[in-house]
A and B are shown apart, each in its own frame.
Chain A
Amino acid sequence: MKDKKYTKKERKMVSGSANGGSGALRYLWKNKYLYLMLVPALIYYGVFCYAPMGGLVIAFKSFNPMKGILGSPWAGFATFRKLFSMGKFYQVFWNTIRISLIRLVFGFPFPIIIALLLNELRSVRVKRVIQTVIYIPNFISWVILGGILTSILSTDGGVINGLLTSLGAKPVGFLTDERFFVPTMVVSMIWKTFGWNTIIYLAAMTGIDPQLYEAATVDGAGRWQKLWHITLPCIRSIIVVVLITRIGSLMQAGFEQIFVLYHPGVYGTADIIDTYVYRIGLQDGKFELATAVGLFKSVVNFILLVIANRTARMAGEEGIF
Chain B
Amino acid sequence: MMARTERTKASSHIRESLGSRIFNVVNVLLLGFIAFTTFYPFWDCFVVSFSSLKGYLATSVHLWPSEWSLEGYRYMVSSAELWSSYANSIIITVGGTAINMIITIMAAYVLSKRNLKGHRVLMFLAVFTMMFSGGIIPTYMVVKDVGLMNSLWAMILPTAVNTYNLIILRNFFLDLPAELEEAALLDGCTEAGVLFRIMLPISKPAVTTVTLFYAVDHWNDFFSAIMYINKKQQWPLQLFLRSMLFQNDAAYASGGESLFLLGQPMKMAAVMMAIIPIMCAYPFFQRYFTAGMTVGAVKG
Q: Do chains A and B touch in the complex (CB under 8 A)?
A: yes
Q: Name A's B-contacting residues (CB within 8 A).
A: 4, 7-14, 18, 24, 27, 31, 33-35, 37-38, 40-41, 44-45, 47-56, 58, 69, 114, 117-124, 126-137, 139-141, 144-145, 147-148, 151-152, 154, 157-159, 191, 195, 199-200, 202-208, 210, 212-214, 216-217, 222-223, 226-227, 230-231, 237-238, 241, 245, 248-249, 287, 290-291, 294-295, 298, 301-302, 305, 318, 320-321
The answer to whether A44 and B103 touch across the interface, beta carbons within 8 angstroms, is yes
Task: Find residues 116-131 in chain B having any chain A CB closer than 8 Å to their own CB.
Answer: 116-117, 120, 122-131
With A9-B114, A45-B129, A54-B134 already in contact, the answer to whether A114 and B278 are too (CB < 8 A) is: no
Q: Does B243 contact A (CB under 8 A)?
A: no
- A120 contact from B27, B174, B271, Cβ within 8 A: B27
Report the bound CA distance from A126 to B39 in whole Å: 15
With A44-B103, A140-B41, A151-B60 already in contact, the answer to whether A248 and B133 are too (CB < 8 A) is: no
Question: What are 15 sample pairs from A and B whose C-beta atoms fall under 8 A apart?
Answer: A8-B178, A9-B114, A33-B191, A127-B294, A137-B41, A139-B275, A199-B212, A204-B172, A204-B206, A205-B297, A206-B292, A213-B295, A213-B296, A223-B23, A245-B167
With A45-B125, A237-B171 already in contact, the answer to whether A217 and B299 are too (CB < 8 A) is: yes
Report the bound CA distance from A24 to B116 in whole Å: 12
> Which residues on B sit within 8 Å (CB–CB) of A130?
31-32, 34-35
Q: Does B95 contact A (CB under 8 A)?
A: no
The answer to whether B283 and A132 touch across the interface, beta carbons within 8 angstroms, is yes
Report the bound CA distance from A34 to B168 in whole Å: 19
Q: Name B's A-contacting residues (CB within 8 A).
A: 3, 6-7, 10, 20, 23-24, 27-28, 30-32, 34-42, 44-45, 60-61, 102-104, 106-107, 109-111, 113-117, 120, 122-139, 141-142, 146, 157-161, 164, 166-168, 171-172, 174-179, 181-182, 185, 190-192, 194-195, 203, 205-206, 208-209, 212, 216, 220, 264, 267-268, 271, 275, 278-279, 282-283, 286, 288-300
With A40-B103, A45-B125, A117-B27 already in contact, the answer to whether A51 and B138 are too (CB < 8 A) is: yes
The answer to whether A124 and B3 touch across the interface, beta carbons within 8 angstroms, is yes
Quick one: closest A residue to B245, CB to CB? A143
Chain A to chain B: the 4 pairs with minimum beta-carbon distance, closest first: A213-B296, A55-B138, A52-B134, A52-B138
> Which residues on A sit within 8 Å (CB–CB) of B107?
37-38, 40-41
With A127-B294, A191-B37, A203-B209 already in contact, the answer to whether A41 and B31 are too (CB < 8 A) is: no
> Which residues on A sit within 8 Å (CB–CB) of B111?
38
> Which residues on A sit within 8 Å (CB–CB) of B178?
7-13
> Which residues on B sit within 8 Å (CB–CB) of A208?
296
Interface core residue of A4, A44, A202 (most chain B CB under 10 Å): A44
The answer to whether B114 and A128 touch across the interface, beta carbons within 8 angstroms, is no
Report the bound CA distance from A310 to B103 in whole Å: 27
> Which residues on A sit within 8 Å (CB–CB) of B45?
140, 144, 148
- A122 contact from B24, B128, B182, B195, Cβ within 8 A: B24
Cβ distance A121 to chain B, nearest Cβ, rounded Å: 7
The answer to whether A238 and B168 touch across the interface, beta carbons within 8 angstroms, is yes
> Which residues on A sit within 8 Å (CB–CB) of B126?
41, 45, 321
Report the bound CA distance from A231 to B38 in whole Å: 26
Report the bound CA distance from A44 to B156 in whole Å: 11
Report the bound CA distance from A258 to B194 in whole Å: 47
The answer to whether A41 and B161 touch across the interface, beta carbons within 8 angstroms, is yes
The answer to whether A207 and B205 touch across the interface, beta carbons within 8 angstroms, is yes
The answer to whether A40 and B296 touch across the interface, beta carbons within 8 angstroms, is no
> Which residues on B sit within 8 Å (CB–CB) of A148?
41, 44-45
> Which residues on A sit within 8 Å (CB–CB) of B299?
213, 217
The answer to whether B167 and A44 touch across the interface, beta carbons within 8 angstroms, is no
Report the bound CA distance from A305 to B131 in whole Å: 9
Cβ distance B50 to chain A, nearest Cβ, rounded Å: 16
Cβ distance A223 to chain B, nearest Cβ, rounded Å: 4
- B110 contact from A34, A117, A287, A318, Cβ within 8 A: A34
Interface core residue of B40, B139, B171 (most chain A CB under 10 Å): B171
The answer to whether A55 and B137 touch across the interface, beta carbons within 8 angstroms, is yes
> Which residues on B sit within 8 Å (CB–CB) of A305?
127, 130-131
The answer to whether B138 and A69 touch across the interface, beta carbons within 8 angstroms, is yes
Quick one: closest A residue to B171, CB to CB? A241
The answer to whether A14 and B131 touch across the interface, beta carbons within 8 angstroms, is no
With A48-B160, A139-B275, A245-B167 already in contact, the answer to whether A302 and B131 are too (CB < 8 A) is: yes
With A41-B103, A48-B157, A140-B45 already in contact, the answer to whether A11 and B138 are too (CB < 8 A) is: no
> Which residues on B sit within 8 Å (CB–CB) of A37?
106-107, 109-110, 191-192, 195
Report the bound CA distance from A151 to B194 in whole Å: 55
The answer to whether B209 and A200 touch across the interface, beta carbons within 8 angstroms, is yes
Cβ distance B57 to chain A, nearest Cβ, rounded Å: 12
